[in-house]
Amino acid sequence: MLRWTRFNIISVVLGFAFLYLPIVLLVVFSFNESKLVTVWGGFSTKWYVSLLSNQALLDAAWVTIRVGLLSATFATILGTMAALTLVRYTRFRGRMLFSGMVYAPLVMPDVITGLSLLLLFVAIGLDRGFWTITLAHTTLTMCFVAVVVQSRLLSFDQSIEEAAQDLGAPPVRTFFEITLPIISPAVFSGWILAFTLSLDDLVIASFTSGPGATTLPMKIYSQVRLGVTPEINAVCTILIAIVTIGVICASIITKRRELQRERDERAAAATA
């Protein structure tokens, strides 16, 4: 049994403080009355109110949300298909190359990915803007979805699918009515991960963006270079809240579905 020594406790406290204390300070100073982010001038929510009149930040936030929703959806579809290919079809020509291409964005530096996509869009004559950012984020996040879904498929009991097909269900219907509901927690987790990565991306979006398609991280970075303001702290606090709520909801939904699946399996075993 692991015993908590004083050294372990201090190490954990210092580690969590190093990770989360800057975030806590950012959230606290977003309610600062003073314009100076390092001087506390009293509690106020005026910086959140001022965001409503900052059209540039609102437009950047809307672009970011749309890009995140679309790219996460595309990445989830493509990543799930890639995971099915890697798990179910283990013998086909070019599997090694396909596997390497799926996992390449995981280890590829963002600068190289962004530059290569920029060269691709320029070569094919595609104007940079909203859709190029969406395609770039889909390319970036698809591999993460594939990894999450693949880990679930490796432990999937294929006898359930075989039983459905023995009863006359075609493969497509078996997938949508049997396989997809069972692996849906992993698919949903992959979607949340892809959406979060899209919200966070700065480097790749900087390479693939164009006029009228500025994401919120790009807007924040351009303003931070001139100095941090409480308004920026307020925007970052809202982003932290959105990501936190999304992660909590995803965890709750995934846990409930896993518990329901376990209850259904026990009920089926009892009736058998």
Instruction: Answer whether residue 87 is part of any domain.
Output: yes
* Pairwise CA distance, residues 50 & 11, whole Å: 40
Q: Which domain holds residue 98?
A: 29-271
1 has a pLDDT exceeding 60: no
The 10s digit of each residue's pLDDT in 211-253 is: 778 888 888 888 777 777 777 888 888 888 887 887 787 778 7
Judge whether 70 lies within some domain: yes
Which of 217, 220, 152 minimizes the C-alpha distance to 189? 152
**Amino acid identity of 86?**
L
Q: pLDDT for 223-234, tens place per residue? A: 777 777 777 888
3-class SS of residue 127: coil
The closest alpha carbon to 28, from 20, 222, 12, belongs to: 20
Residue 66, domain member (yes or no): yes
Distance CA 264, CA 258 (A): 10
Output the pTM of the full model: 0.81
Per-residue DSSP letter, 176: I
CATH of the domain at 240: 1.10.3720.10
Q: Number of folded domains in the chain?
A: 1
